[in-house]
């Protein structure tokens, strides 16, 4: 609480009430009502790198897709990574059933996001461009998490996972990009109002890279749970820009997402993220079982 009070003081906020925001796994987020009744969101990223990344992403995207307005920024100190004060977006995160109309609009907005490419005359401190080294990036991403995963799954599953990774990566298509990729494009980060997308949030993992990695979580959380949404999403996306062959890349990235998520849980504390760990462990085992 002392840390929070320090940030509120730094940003010169007049606070009436504070609530924790659930489903924010990496950052700490508070919903704050100010004395003037305005609702704002205070975000304290996990690290300074994520702070700068979020700041730059909001700057890059402000004229391209609906994102929160940056109302305040504190660069932090030796104890606190920093904080962003963000405007409220009209609506609520996607939850429950998604119909074809909403899936179409999600496709439109995701394509608009992917239409954003790095500017040649601008350098970024937080938003990395990994497109030219895409194969190296996916490999480093996987094997970096493997160091954590090996401590929490049986040795035979780890061996099978590494073998499957090495086999499937050979058949990936040429990367599509360089594009702005969200890296955590899931229902909780898609805001909707009256069954249309009203905002996209949470860019602390964003990159410039290949679009193929960015479809994994909506496949897991929307397409596989809501029949007809994949087709509708594809139509919406293709109304803005060409779409890669999703059937060719989704199996690979569904596998790596489940595997990497186990490593993420190990890093952040399995007890704290037990449900998420269990869900991804089931997915990983199911994929490996089907490969036999």
Beta bridge partners of 31: 19, 41
Mean per-residue pLDDT, 108-114: 97
pTM: 0.89
Instruction: Express the helix, strand and coil content of the chain in percent, nearest 5 each.
Output: 45, 15, 35
Mean pLDDT within 84-113 = 94
pLDDT of 125 > 90? The answer is no
* pLDDT value of position 255: 94
Angle between helical axes of 229-238 and 100-114 (0-180°, round to 10): 40
User: Which tops the pLDDT comparison, 22 or 61?
Assistant: 61
pLDDT tens column, 197-216: 999 999 999 999 999 999 99
* Residue 45 confidence (pLDDT): 87
Tokens, residue 49: 């790198």
DSSP per residue, 221-265 = IIITTSTTHHHHHHHHHHTTS----HHHHHHHHHHHHHHHHHHHH
| Dihedral-angle region of residue 49 (phi above 0 means left; psi in -120 to 50 means alpha; beta otherwise) | alpha
170-182 pLDDT, tens digit per residue, is 888 889 989 999 9
* pLDDT over threshold 70, residue 292: no
Determine if the peptide bond prior to 42 is cis (ω within 30°): no
**Average pLDDT score over residue span 55-83:** 91
Distance (Å, whole) CA 258 – CA 253: 8
Supply the pLDDT for residue 23. 65
The values of phi and psi at residue 195, to 5°, are 65, 30
């Amino acid at each position: 609480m002392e840390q929070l009070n320090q940030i509120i003081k730094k940003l010169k906020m007049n606070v009436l009430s504070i609530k924790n925001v659930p489903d924010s796994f990496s950052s700490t987020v508070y919903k704050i009502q100010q004395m003037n009744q305005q609702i704002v969101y205070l975000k304290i990223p996990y690290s300074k790198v994520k702070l700068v990344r979020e700041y730059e992403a909001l700057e890059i995207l402000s004229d391209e897709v609906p994102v929160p307005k940056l109302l305040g920024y504190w660069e932090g100190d030796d104890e606190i990574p920093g904080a962003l004060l963000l405007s409220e977006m009209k609506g609520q995160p996607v939850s429950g059933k998604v119909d074809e109309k909403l899936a179409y609009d999600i496709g439109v907005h995701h394509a608009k996001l992917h239409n954003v490419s790095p500017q040649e005359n601008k350098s970024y401190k937080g938003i990395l461009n990994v497109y030219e080294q895409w194969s190296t990036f996916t490999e480093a991403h996987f094997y970096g998490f493997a160091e954590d995963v090996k401590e929490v799954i049986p040795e035979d599953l780890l061996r099978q996972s590494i073998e499957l990774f090495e086999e499937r990566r050979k058949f990936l298509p040429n990367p599509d990009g360089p594009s702005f990729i969200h890296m955590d494009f899931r229902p909780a980060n898609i805001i909707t109002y009256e069954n249309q997308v009203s905002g996209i949030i949470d860019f602390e993992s964003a990159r410039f890279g290949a679009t193929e990695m960015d479809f994994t979580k909506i496949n897991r959380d929307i397409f596989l749970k809501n029949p007809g949404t994949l087709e509708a999403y594809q139509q919406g996306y293709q109304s803005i820009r060409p779409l890669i062959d999703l059937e060719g890349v989704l199996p690979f990235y569904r596998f790596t997402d489940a595997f990497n998520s186990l490593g993420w849980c190990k890093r952040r504390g399995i007890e704290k993220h037990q449900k998420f760990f269990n869900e991804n462990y089931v997915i990983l085992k199911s994929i490996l079982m089907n490969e036999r």
